[in-house]
Amino acid sequence: MTFMRFRALLPLTLAAFAAGPVLAADQAGTSTRADLAFVNRLTWGETAEGAGLNGKSRQAWLVEQLHPGDDDGLPQRVQAVIANLEISQKPLEEIAVETREMQLAIRDARKDTKSDDKADTQDVIKPYRQKLVSLAVQAQTRSLLRDLYSKNQLKEQLTWFWLNHFNVYARKGQIAALVGDYEETAIRPHVLGKFRDLLTATAFHPAMIQYLDNRQNAADKINENYAREIMELHTMGVGSGYTQKDVQELARILTGVGVNLSGKPRPFAGLARADYRTDVGRGGLFEFIPRRHDYGDKLFLGQAIKGTGLEEVTQAIDLLSRQPATAHFVSRQLAQYFCCDTPSDSLVEAMAASWKRTDGDIAAVLKTLFDSREFDQSLGTKFKDPMHYVLSAVRATYGGRVIENPLPLIAWLNRMGELPYGHETPDGYSLTAASWSGPGEMATRFDVAQQIGGGARNLFRPITPQMLAGLRANLAANPQANGQVILEPDPQDRTPAPALQQTAYYAALAPTLSSATSTAIAQGGSQVDRNALLLSSPEFMRR
């Protein structure tokens, strides 16, 4: 089958989407198919080996996923790759100081360089850009490897969900140096715990403080950016009853919350008020600066808050976490992510009731969702966003085979518009099908399906110095690409296309395929075509 003939299937695939879901859980016919739909929903996709529920009942498997242990069960090779990353070996303070010093070197070089001779500054600008690109790619690599190979799949899905909910943008300022630690310390430890702890961890992390400009928030110059977004996007939601006055009062509460990237104590800190602290966040990076704080009393969400300093932030987080509007808003987003684009009000109400009963216990709220009839009926119908599509395609095609080179994965996600840490605005990526299912987006998926189904050249080839040199050369030629310029496949690479139809996953999936899909796959002229047709089918596009 030629490439053009393959692309000609696009209208047929779009028509199948328009016709509605291919498989719903109550149409599955056997418990095996229903379990496959269940696993595909709560993981990053079934693997080629078809482990399913690992011989457990659905409820027993779910309990393990909702309450995972510390061991993610990563293969030794994956653990080694993660352990060797700079972001895994150096504390955030050291990384931040190094990048800050490079930034200062650029500033000094610009001062010493004549305006008509900017080329002299490239010797200090290039290493800085490469450093930030490297740190961002390392964070993406660690996250994606865990998604692919962790046994705690629900934990990994939620890590992505909360990263998106509490979005930061790597390309803003120095945030690329902070995103790895942000995911590692502010998000991952709390994804199945209390929402209040998660909100607190993000609020005190330097990545969030920098991203939403709270470093510039001072008593004499109020900046409302973070205060507005924490209410609009992180907690209560638009139209939930808070007022502009509440935003202003929260901004006053957040004055003085900042970041110190110098690695040195701020001069005269010892002479400040007793509430000067750096131990709330990550070591010396988070700081509270009393002289920048508004110590006046505030009235926030109807509650009087005395002007005591940093303790005001804790009180505000308590109030926001326990608002009924927060329970409803966040529950609806969780239902939208795990169940359906338009969850019913009754489902959201049930989840919010669990939230109130357990004081925002995320695992308990999710248990209510996963036990609901609405969730069960939705299985097999939720359209995959690019993250779900790429990761599920790699897991279904290659299973436990450990990838050596994460750059193709990053490139596919970048091309499909859902690069980790790549969303510029604080609202995060869309959770609904409409944003990802247009003709242009589907054509891109077809291209990616061919690459994955065709052996995914470069994916299993270790990164060589030559690859890195080529990547740096491409970056120098195109600085705006943010490092996401991936080398073309080596024409000498003869990696064979895997026989996807011979996997345990395909054996479980085959009975759910429509006759049109089965016929199209059978008519594929090569193994690459057959793989690509399966990965492009309406059935595979849903979870």
**Each residue's pLDDT tens digit in the chain (543 positions)?**
444 545 555 555 555 554 455 443 334 345 678 899 999 999 999 999 998 998 999 999 999 999 999 999 999 999 999 999 999 999 999 999 999 999 888 888 888 766 555 666 788 888 999 899 999 999 999 999 999 999 999 999 999 999 999 999 999 999 999 999 999 999 999 999 999 999 999 999 999 999 999 999 999 999 999 999 999 999 999 999 999 999 999 999 999 999 998 777 666 554 444 344 444 444 458 999 999 999 999 999 999 999 999 999 999 999 999 999 999 999 999 999 999 999 999 999 999 999 999 999 999 999 999 999 999 999 999 999 999 999 999 999 999 899 988 889 999 999 999 999 999 999 999 999 999 999 999 999 999 999 999 987 788 887 766 665 665 565 555 544 444 444 455 555 556 889 999 999 999 999 999 999 999 999 999 999 999 999 999 999 999
What is the pLDDT at residue 264?
A: 73
Note whether residue 51 is domain-resident: yes
Note whether residue 144 is domain-resident: no
Note whether residue 295 is domain-resident: no
Assess whether 463 and 499 both reside in one domain: yes
Out of 338, 354, 378, a domain closes at 378
Chain CA centroid to CA 473, Å = 28
Note whether residue 29 is domain-resident: yes
Assess whether 374 and 401 both reside in one domain: no
Task: For residue 218, give the 3-state DSSP assignment.
Answer: strand
Note whether residue 290 is domain-resident: no
What is the pLDDT at residue 280?
A: 43
Assess whether 390 and 364 both reside in one domain: no
Note whether residue 448 is domain-resident: yes
For residue 360, what are the domain limits? 324-378
Out of 343, 378, 413, a domain closes at 378
- Residue for token pair 């290659």: 398
- Residue for token pair 């080596």: 490
384 DSSP 8-state letter: P
The number of distinct structural domains making up the chain is 2
Assess whether 486 and 359 both reside in one domain: no
Assess whether 386 and 373 both reside in one domain: no
Note whether residue 18 is domain-resident: yes
**End-to-end Cα distance, the chain:** 27
Assess whether 479 and 416 both reside in one domain: yes
Out of 378, 402, 424, a domain closes at 378
Assess whether 530 and 467 both reside in one domain: yes
What is the pLDDT at residue 26?
A: 39
The C-alpha atoms of residue 186 and residue 226 are separated, in whole angstroms, by: 17
Assess whether 391 and 427 both reside in one domain: yes
Note whether residue 121 is domain-resident: no
Assess whether 330 and 454 both reside in one domain: no
Assess whether 371 and 426 both reside in one domain: no
Assess whether 407 and 475 both reside in one domain: yes
Residue 441 and residue 417 in contact, taking contact as beta carbons nearer than 8 Å: yes
Question: What are the b/e assignments for 27-47, b being 16+ CB within 10 Å?
Answer: ebeeeebbbbbbbbbbbbbbb
Assess whether 451 and 482 both reside in one domain: yes
